[in-house]
Chain A
Amino acid sequence: MIEARNVSKWYGRFQVLRDCSVSIARGEVIVVCGPSGSGKSTLIKCMNGLEPFQQGEIAVDGISVGDKRTNLPRLRSRIGMVFQSFELYPHMTALDNICLAPEKVLKRSRAEAEAKAMGLLDRVGLADHARKHPAQLSGGQQQRVAIARALAMDPIAMLFDEPTSALDPEMINEVLDVMVALAREGMTMVVVTHEMGFARKVARRVVFMDEGQIVEDAPTEQFFTNPGSDRAQLFLSKILHH
């Protein structure tokens, strides 16, 4: 479904991604982790063309992301993305946040978009909050609206960039629960997170990055019990002891 081959990216002379290769099959859930600044966000932003890259290739459902002829808005409309800081449109209600892209990009009617949005809000437990603006919702609620917004486009895959790290601890689970349910329904997911409980529950593989490199790409159990590299071991000992 998502295939990255030897992707390298530079910011000026600084190399953010070094020869990254990773492949995510349909229905697969993978977790990406690694120290701050290791290039995790950059890698998943390359997957939907939010960030350009200079070398290598990424294909999503057979369509090349780096190809200049690719219609990027169209490609992106098929991939959902959830951000660390939610990024809900502050001047729109939760409902309008969810309906915007389906109406304007997929040209669904307002009624159709709204019916679908209400269904999704119900699914993330926020049916009563449809008419609220983002500033009137808690962080956990905002992030669930953001997930509903991404799902409204019927994506073929979902990208999550640290979806819970801006949340107060008591709100983390309400978001993770939605993500676990999504994973169990067979959604293809790439999740940047340090929530190792989530990884253990639903991830098929864990990808560990450091200094722009994919240092390790291992089945989840193996990653936790017997990581192949010292750097991954060190990273695990740090975050698991917290």
Chain B
Amino acid sequence: MSYNWNWGVLVSEPYLGWLISGTQWTLAIACLAWIMAFTLGSLIGIARTTPIGPLRWLGTAYVELFRNIPLLVQMFLWFFVFPEVLPRDWGRWVKRDLPMPEFTTAVLCLGFYTASRVAEQVRSGLNAVPKGLLAAGQAGGLTLPQIYRYILLPLGFRIIVPSLTSDFLAVFKNSSLALTIGVMELTAQSRQIENYTFQGFEAFTAATVIYCVITAIVVVIMTRVEARLRVPGLLGRQQGAL
């Protein structure tokens, strides 16, 4: 059995257009989900470190729930089950009128899931800030919100930039699960090209290369962020130990 290599398929229409469109959907899902995850996850991570019991409890419950259910299952739950358990009018709205239902569901699902991972990072970053600095802030008369704003968060986030990078990368990889509810993102488009042309190797090679390029861009951006946040004199000693 011999395989007919034909790289030309990748640059011929409509397949090139499919790849481009798939890449755009992948970027859109991942970036929106990341913005959501970063915001929500930061709030939940902060909640888990406050002295306010109910906030801590809610934060813990959120993280345990979303982190422990497989992402694929969550995708199905949001898409197929969630509209059914809503009050009838809301459910009907979700099923009929939600704009771009597959895409929106994928973004929300990935955002909620990734937020649980971001929350864990933020919590560990905040906890890694030496307790003496908290005492110094208190002794200066700062209120707890001010201590978070000016001391704990700037230091906590610096500590977790490297691990946040890997969560950011994971969002791009995880966005491929959106194909299971019908979003025509990059992986789905590659599969479609295979179905139409039987040139699966070429299609998936292209997808692989595109994922790698995205990853490389994210790494470059995050390295820049890390460099910009670097504290003079703490070079090399910063990891974890601050």
Q: Which of A72, A83, A101, A134 has the most CB of B within 10 A?
A: A101
Q: Is the CB of A135 within 8 A of B132?
A: no
Contact of A50 among B135, B142, B234, B242 (CB under 8 A): B135
A81 within 8 A of B: yes
Main secondary structure of the interface of B (DSSP, over half): helix
**Interface: A238 (CB within 8 A):** no
> Which among A72, A87, A133, A150 is the interface contact of B132 at CB below 8 angstroms?
A87
Residue of B nearest to A137 (CB): B233
Chain B hits for A50, CB < 8 A:
135, 138-139
Q: Contacts A73-B141, A76-B140 given; indicate if A87 touches B232 (C-beta within 8 A).
A: no
A68 close to chain B: CB less than 8 A: no
Count of residues in A whose CB is under 8 Å from the partner chain? 32
Beta-carbon contact of B231 and A91 below 8 Å: yes
Taken together as a complex, chains A and B put the C-alpha atoms of A88 and B155 apart, in Å, by 12
Chain B contact-residue range equals 20 to 34
Partner of B135 from the list A78, A87, A136 (CB cut-off 8 Å) is: A87
Min distance, Cβ B26 to any Cβ of chain A, angstroms: 35
- Give the Cβ gap from A182 to chain B, nearest Cβ, in Å: 17
**Residues of chain B in range 96-150 having any CB-CB distance to chain A below 8 Å:** 130, 132-133, 135-143, 146, 150
- The answer to whether B233 touches A101 (Cβ under 8 A) is no
Q: Is A77 an interface residue (CB 8 A)?
A: yes
Return chain B residues, CB-CB under 8 Å to A80: 139
Q: Does B154 contact A (CB under 8 A)?
A: yes
Interfacial residues, chain A to chain B (CB-CB below 8 A): 45, 48, 50, 72-74, 76-81, 83, 85, 87-91, 100-101, 104-105, 132-136, 146, 149-150, 153
Apart from the given pairs A83-B132, A89-B137, 16 other A-B contacts in the complex at a CB distance below 8 Å? A45-B135, A50-B135, A73-B142, A76-B140, A77-B140, A83-B139, A87-B136, A89-B155, A91-B158, A101-B141, A104-B150, A133-B232, A134-B233, A135-B233, A136-B233, A150-B140
Can you name 27 A-B residue pairings with CB atoms under 8 Å? A45-B135, A73-B138, A73-B141, A73-B143, A74-B141, A76-B138, A77-B141, A78-B141, A81-B139, A83-B132, A83-B139, A87-B130, A87-B132, A87-B135, A88-B136, A90-B234, A90-B242, A91-B155, A101-B141, A105-B140, A105-B141, A105-B146, A133-B231, A133-B233, A135-B231, A135-B237, A146-B136
